[in-house]
Structure 1
């Protein structure tokens, strides 16, 4: 009996040894294939290395650990992408597996991840419906062409306001005026009314509300790294997000209620705006969407269509004020095309290659969303020889790619000339420059955003010369950043406009 027991023990021990050895080898194989990364501290992992500006921290770490880097942020496995080749793998080759979203704690606090084009997974029927509605009702070539006169009108109102400020000898806040213009373009497309005001006294705080929400949803949060801490809201991101979105939702509901009342009184369907079209889909026995869907879709449109646009215009103007020769060159090009007509037309932009290069160079150095929105691996996937594990957060650092010395010369210098005579564009095909993303997750509003930014910038440069406020010289202009989902200029840019010519239509 003892011999039999001994033999059974030996057999079981052998099986256990074989099993654990095989498992160890398999685990070691997988671990060896994980992307390299910095050493981790117990419990917190690499959280201490994230910093206030994660895009910069990750770029610095990538110099040591390479363009595909693995980090452990508390409980969160993260892979940071920092080269065009790796970005192509994520955004194109393995787009389907890596197109899920790793939503943040603040986004989940308002359930935006369950009703948002930006945060829903592409595999869901709800995402496909909302994406289709956005594309057909807002961003199709036909709809963009149909709203061209509206964009021209709102940009002319911007120029008129700046002209009045020039006559009074007042400096203007570039971020505020460009946000107001973008806000009124978007609000007219959505609701057929102006929401923004250039008068500070009549400001409704929309810009502050949108920026607060963008910062709360994007900046580092302990609850993103340790989900069990979410209810504590240690950094008040949930509180800020709820307050800012509720303010916007109240505005949306007012428009929805007013339009519903008008719809009940009239059957006229001519001149329907975006909200009219959405509300029509809530009718019937089996409505396609409900009011909650509409509120969250409008939130997407406002956040993506206003803050990112004004931020890009402000960074472009800041770079031009730091480089007066570049500004003069741009103004000379615009003058040669527009002449003395007094108004920049949207059709003029295609004839302004240097202006287009300025917009691209601005997006290279200052992408509005420096890490894109976080993706999630739906399965293990191999990227350039490294394993990205299932459920890992994947961050594409387009800010770092835009400053990669292996791709760009003079990486930190503002040189629009680098794009002249080259086919590099921002439309998601050139992975060294993807500020709007690429693949199925590419920003659907890209064509409209580029048009608005280009028209605003060209109009400001055509109608005015610009000078920095007293005591500030171009070389010392503050270019510090504040990180959220979007990348803002910490100290808002103010400048004096000097009128060059008549600004009225």
Structure 2
């Protein structure tokens, strides 16, 4: 059973935008027994995310989030306070800060190479490529190596497809209008079956994380001897023997699971969705694809593939469809006309890592292949489906032809 509010509709983002055009940029709505404030203009967003930031730093304890985040023991849904600050600090220093992102460039390069090889093999066999499966497989393996020193999938296939379905179920389920969130007294009934479905998926996900942590613990001494500590090693070192920080907080095993959960969910499907949408737009607009390829051919050539350090030399790849005064809008949280990562205290901790992955993988795919739709298809279906992120309703499939010398795919 799907629950929708008649004045919002099945796609809340567009429904609320329509209401804002009629009633103004700040609206108070009564949804069930809960009051909801909608702020939908740059000035309103600035007020709530900057001026009132300290008052609004907590995330709502929605039923679905409690069920899938070990009781909100992760960074994304934890209340703002000493424990959240500790998790954010450790994530920034060892995982998502500028130095940490630079340190893991080799992992991203390796996974990009594996992706290109798999796509080149598909091209040789005459198979279409399912773009989101390529991206999610690569991202999951990047996250796995950075967090627990292990690639999650050897290749795209049933396992990686099942993993993507699991992530999509979590993101769409958590983003659904759940009647339990708006009439909390009915939560125990789970009228739509949302909580039962999410708990079931979370058990699968927890099984994956538990297995990875068990394998990780078995090889801890080897990594310590070789001096190649990963994120979980550093988290455990920070709380060894119950050590606490200045606020008396420490990282528990449940927090470690929660942080890994954050990385595998927020760190995979969100970035892959952006690249998939960008590729869909470029396939529908071949002239834009061609111009991007011309720029990369001029800067890089056709004898090798793109390196992350070269992105700064590719202004067209980084270009946005904004002009006039809007062309100077910064998407990193300083200009409230465009806040893809949010703003204020709860701004996305992975914004830098996300930007690096999106630009690097998008550029790599555009540079390495010619793209066309499978026979019989004229345009990419651009319909979306609602959730915490907005994935394409129909997965992007395309036929690719290698553009570079064969050695670039080895």
Q: Distance in 1 between matches of 2:95 and 2:150?
A: 16
When residues 298 and 88 of structure 1 are mapped into structure 2, their CA distance, relative to the original with a 3 A threshold, is same
Find the counterpart in structure 1 of residue 247 from structure 2. none
Distance in 2, matches of 1:256 and 1:117, equals: 18
- The alpha carbon displacement at 1:424 in A equals 2.1
Instruction: Report the TM-score when normalising by structure 2.
Output: 0.92
Q: How much does 1:436 deviate?
A: 0.6
Deviations along 1:419-442, one digit per CA (max 9) or x if unpaired, are 899332221011111101111111
- Specify which of 71, 91, 101 is matched with residue 49 of structure 2: 91
Q: Is the 8 A contact 1:115 1:126 kept in 2?
A: no
Q: The residue matched to 1:116 in structure 2 has which SS?
A: coil
In the alignment, what sits opposite 1:116? 74
Deviation at 1:236, TM superposition (A): 1.7
1:467 aligned to which of 368, 372, 376: 372
- Give the aligned partner of residue 125 of structure 1: 82
Gaps of 5+ in 1: 1-45, 362-415
- Determine the structure 1 residue equivalent to 2:278: 316
1:218–1:485 contact (8 Å) kept in structure 2: yes
Write the distance in 1 (CA, Å) between the matches of 2:346 and 2:354. Answer: 16
**Shift of the alpha carbon at 1:462?**
0.5
Higher relative helix content: 2
Aligned partners of 2:55, 2:119: CA distance in 1, in Å? 48
Are 1:244 and 2:147 matched, yes or no?
Answer: no
Shift, 1:207, TM fit: 0.9
Q: Residues of 2 paired with 1:289 and 1:65: CA distance?
A: 46
- Report the counterpart of residue 11 of structure 1 in structure 2: none
CA contact (8 A) 2:166 2:201 kept: yes
- The correspondence for 1:497, drawn from 395, 400, 404, is 400
Residue 61 of structure 1: aligned partner: 19
Number of aligned residue pairs: give it: 400
Picking from 454, 457, 460, the partner of 2:359 is 454
Alignment of 1:41-440 (within 5 A): 47-110=5-68, 112=70, 114-122=72-80, 124-203=81-160, 205-263=162-220, 268=225, 270-286=227-243, 288-357=250-319, 361=320, 416=321, 418=323, 422-440=327-345
Match of 1:392 in 2: none
Once the two structures are TM-superposed, the CA of residue 285 in structure 1 deviates from its matched residue by 4.2
Q: SS state of the match for residue 54, structure 2?
A: coil
Change (3 A) 1:308 1:419: farther
Larger radius of gyration: 1
Residues 244-286 of structure 1, C-alpha deviations (whole Å, 9 max, x = no match):
2222222222222233334468862610011111223343144
Task: Tell me by how many angstroms 1:209 deviates.
Answer: 0.8
Range 325-334 or range 108-117, more displaced: 108-117
Provide the alpha-carbon RMSD of the alignment.
2.0
Contact residue 69 and residue 258 of structure 2 kept, 8 A: no
User: Using a 3 Å threshold, how does the CA distance of structure 1 residues 307 and 267 change in structure 2: closer, same or farther?
Assistant: closer
Q: Structure 1 CA distance, aligned partners of 2:106 and 2:326?
A: 31
Corresponding residue SS for 2:331: coil
Instruction: State the distance in 2 between where 1:103 and 1:440 align.
Output: 18
CA distance in 2, matches of 1:149, 1:167: 27
Shift of 1:50: 2.3
* CA drift at 1:87: 1.1
TM-score if structure 1 supplies the norm length? 0.75
Distance (Å, rounded) in 1 between the aligned partners of 2:333 and 2:326: 19
Contact 2:149 2:216 in 1 (8 A): no
Shifted more, 465-474 versus 54-63: the winner is 465-474
**Partner residue of 1:399?**
none
Provide the C-alpha distance between the structure 2 equivalents of 1:234 and 1:469, rounded to a whole number of angstroms: 41
Q: C-alpha displacement at 1:114, in angstroms?
A: 3.0
Name the SS of the counterpart of 1:181 in structure 2. Answer: helix
Distance between the aligned counterparts of 1:212 and 1:421, measured in 2? 35
Q: Indicate conservation of the 8 Å contact 1:184/1:195, yes or no.
A: yes
3-state SS of 1:482 partner: coil
